[in-house]
Chain A
Amino acid sequence: MRRRDFLVAAGAAAALPGAESGLTPVDEAGYRRLLEAGRGKVLLVDFWATWCAPCRVDLPLLVKLEAKYQARGLKLITVSCDEPEQEADASRFLRQLRVSGPAYIKRSADDDRFITSVDARWSGALPALFIYDRQGRRAGSYVGESDKAAVEAALVKLL
């Protein structure tokens, strides 16, 4: 399959269950849909990658945060920014951490467009955390190694 065909197919598959890895491909439209589907919950969306060391440090902390506040309406959503070659590794890492929430993998035909659609001010740097309130409005953005106490405080305000 040519790259463009693959990307188009992945885009069409956005928000559908993923293939063998268990990760769901997501593009711009799929991202909008997942936010809409999460209305009523406070969403903590984590963009990460297997090659990103601080992302791997962050994820277990985020899993703990979700466990702590799940009953109050917090939902953790992970979006891997790995290449197809690393998809199996990404899936394995999430399984090891017992990430229970929806797990996506970025598959957009245009990375620039995807990144801008998430947040026009985001450069694409990882890790990147975005918090959405129960109405689906973005309520917080944390890029790079963030202060998890600040993230938790921001979440608690919304829960």
Chain B
Amino acid sequence: MGRAISLWAATLLAAGAFGQEFKLGSKVSDFGLRDVSGAPVAFGKLKGQVTVIGFIATQCPISNDYNGRMKALYTDYHPKGVHFVFINPNNTEPAGDVAQHTKQNGFPFAVYKDERNVVADRFGAEFTPEVFVVDSEGVIRYHGAIDDSRVEARVKAQSLRKALDAMLAGQSVEPARTRAFGCTIKRVKKTS
């Protein structure tokens, strides 16, 4: 379930408190990220027919427990046309750490930096890992967890895979919402 949450968040109980703009069923407008070299990248250039947007961390043990599963997802679904946009939103994990983490874990995908967790705020993302899946129109069709257990051997519900399979088959996603779990995102302190 990352956590630089300050006083403003002391009584925080819902993702809506982050000023969530993109919600399940709503359309995602373009947003900006940075690659690990610091160059700006627009989401519009990364998205595909089906796009997984995953908030992940370098230091969160739960997020790291999913490293292998994220690689497997990419290996299984990228050839089917699914795009993956992994994002590190943690204020405590600089781009250099993200680049090193990506290399050390042999990720076959890029991980982008969300400076000042602006994108995480727009999605109302609270955890690493936490995923959103958007369709070709940019509409969020799935939001929640990758699966239902930190321990891979105890996974019973492959919720993200199920959502991707449904979308690739042109079917509705069910369940479209699951409870994400992991480390809370380490957000910047906002005084206003």
Inside 8 A of A141's CB, which chain B residues have their CB?
11, 13
Binary per-residue interface labels of chain B (151-162) against chain A in the complex, 1 for a CB within 8 Å, 0 otherwise: 100101000000
Q: Is the interface of A mostly helix, strand, loop or mixed?
A: loop
Tell me the bound Cα distance from A115 to B3 in angstroms: 19
Asked if B5 CB lies within 8 Å of chain A CBs, one says yes
How many residues of chain A get a CB closer than 8 Å to chain B's CBs?
Answer: 28
Given contacts A123-B15, A150-B10, contact A83 B184 (CB under 8 A): no
Q: Is B13 within 8 A of A123, CB to CB?
A: yes
Q: Determine the distance from Cα of A3 to Cα of B154 in the docked complex, in whole angstroms.
A: 8
Q: Contact at B14–A147, with CB atoms within 8 Å?
A: no
- Given the complex, which residues of A lie within 8 Å of B61, measured CB to CB? 51
Q: Is the beta-carbon distance between A144 and B179 smaller than 8 angstroms?
A: no
Which chain B residues border A112 with CB–CB below 8 Å? Answer: 179
Q: For chains A and B in complex, what number of residue pairs have CB atoms within 8 angstroms?
A: 67
Q: Which residue of B lies closest to A146 (CB)?
A: B10
A125-B184, A144-B184, A145-B5 given; A119·B10 CB < 8 A: no
Taking a contact as CB atoms under 8 Å apart, the answer to whether A145 and B4 are in contact is yes
Residues on A with beta carbons closer than 8 Å to the beta carbon of B179: 111-112, 115, 123-124
Query: Interface majority SS on B: helix, strand, loop or mixed?
Result: loop
A145–B179 alpha-carbon span in the complex (Å): 21
Q: Is B75 an interface residue (CB 8 A)?
A: no
- Inter-chain contact B13/A143, CB cutoff 8 Å: yes
Q: Is the CB of B5 within 8 A of A144?
A: yes
A81 to B5 alpha-carbon distance, docked (Å): 20
**Distance between Cα atoms of A124 and B12 in the complex (Å):** 11
Q: Fill in one digit per residue for A30-71: 1 if any B CB lies within 8 Å of its CB, else 0.
A: 000000000000000000010111100000000000000000
Q: Are B151 and A126 in contact, with the CB atoms below 8 A?
A: no
Complex CA–CA separation, A126 to B4 (angstroms): 12
Query: In the complex, which residues 107-159 of chain A have their Cβ closer than 8 Å to any Cβ of chain B?
Result: 111-112, 115, 119, 121-127, 141-147, 150
Contact B1 A125 (CB under 8 A): yes
A121 with B3, Cβ < 8 A, contacts A51-B62, A85-B151, A112-B179 known: no
Residue interface bits B171-186, CB-to-A below 8 A is 1, else 0:
0000000011101100
Beyond A83-B151, A121-B14, list 18 extra A-B contacts (CB 8 Å). Answer: A3-B154, A51-B61, A52-B1, A81-B1, A85-B151, A111-B179, A112-B179, A119-B13, A121-B13, A124-B1, A124-B181, A125-B1, A142-B11, A143-B11, A144-B184, A145-B3, A145-B5, A147-B7
Q: Which 10 A-B pairs have the closest CB atoms?
A: A144-B5, A121-B13, A51-B61, A146-B10, A54-B3, A125-B184, A145-B5, A144-B9, A147-B7, A147-B10
